[in-house]
């Protein structure tokens, strides 16, 4: 889905993500996926240039969920080392986004997207969907036996007696013969 990474839109996208994960029965991933997506969209809002236009993609790949955000800024984000960064106070509310994404995800990364953009992504482990049991035919209630549709024919064959030859078919009447008249004549 394509959107402007504005604070008002970030909440909407989180709700869309949550709804999709519920649809896929991946409810256990909602909190971590929503946190990671919020951080990636906030980075686009705060840092991306020349615009805040981005594309969010959510993919369920066999055994993992992948969430990615593509923007038009080719600059690659860097994870701030919180302990070594002098400009990040211990109780700061900024500068930890990618560190949190790394903490809640199995993996994350950045890849260039052409000359004018990048994709930042993360993955979460997802349960492999159970294969549904094959559908069993519905059980029918016991019914009274139906009358047979055709007459029952029984034949006995004696292997020692030759079978009779079929009777010859009657010869057709000649076409030029006069039909018998019912009028006396």
Total domains in the fold of the chain: 1
Supply the DSSP string of 116-161, one letter for each residue: S-EEEEEEEE-PPPPPPPPPPPPPPPP-PPPPPSS--------TTS
What's the maximum distance between 2 C-alpha atoms anywhere in the chain?
136
In a domain? residue 172: no
In a domain? residue 137: no
In a domain? residue 26: yes
Q: 70 is in which domain, residue-wise?
A: 2-125
Say which range, 47-51, 74-78, 128-132, has the weakest mean pLDDT: 128-132
Tell me what pLDDT residue 46 has. 83
- Between 185 and 61, name the one with better pLDDT: 61
In a domain? residue 22: yes
Tell me what pLDDT residue 7 has. 84
In a domain? residue 23: yes
For residue 70, the domain's CATH number is: 3.30.565.10
For CA atoms 83, 11, 51, 124, the dihedral sign is positive
In a domain? residue 21: yes
Distance, CA of 31 to CA of 10 (rounded, Å): 14
Q: How many CB atoms lie within 10 A of CB 64?
A: 17
Tell me what pLDDT residue 185 has. 52
In a domain? residue 60: yes
In a domain? residue 158: no
Closest alpha carbon to 105 in 126, 88, 119, 81: 126
DSSP reduced 3-state for 91: coil
pLDDT in tens, 8-41: 888 999 999 999 999 999 999 999 999 999 999 9
Burial of 164 (0-12, 13-18, 19+ CB in 10 A): exposed
Average pLDDT, the chain: 77
Tell me what pLDDT residue 81 has. 63
- Between 21 and 182, name the one with better pLDDT: 21
User: Quick check: 159 pLDDT over 60?
Assistant: no
pLDDT in tens, 52-101: 888 899 999 889 999 999 998 888 887 766 555 555 555 445 556 788 88
The pTM score is 0.62
Say which range, 23-27, 64-68, 123-127, 172-176, has the weakest mean pLDDT: 172-176
């Amino acid at each position: 889905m394509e959107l402007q990474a504005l604070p008002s839109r970030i909440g909407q996208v989180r709700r869309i993500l949550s709804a999709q994960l519920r649809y896929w029965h991946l409810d256990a991933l909602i909190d971590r996926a929503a946190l990671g997506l919020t951080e990636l969209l906030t980075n686009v809002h705060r840092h991306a240039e020349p615009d805040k236009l981005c594309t969010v993609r959510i993919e369920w790949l066999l055994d993992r969920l992948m969430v990615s955000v593509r923007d038009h800024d080719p600059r690659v984000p860097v994870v701030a080392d919180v302990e070594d960064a002098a400009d990040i106070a211990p109780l700061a509310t900024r500068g930890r986004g990618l560190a949190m994404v790394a903490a809640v995800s199995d993996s994350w990364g950045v890849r260039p997207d052409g000359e004018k953009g990048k994709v930042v992504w993360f993955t979460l482990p997802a349960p492999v969907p159970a294969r549904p049991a094959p559908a069993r035919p519905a059980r029918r209630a016991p019914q009274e036996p139906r009358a047979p549709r055709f007459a029952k024919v029984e034949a006995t064959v004696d292997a020692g007696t030759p079978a009779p030859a079929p009777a010859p078919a009657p010869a057709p009447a000649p076409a030029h013969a006069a039909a018998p008249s019912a009028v006396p004549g």
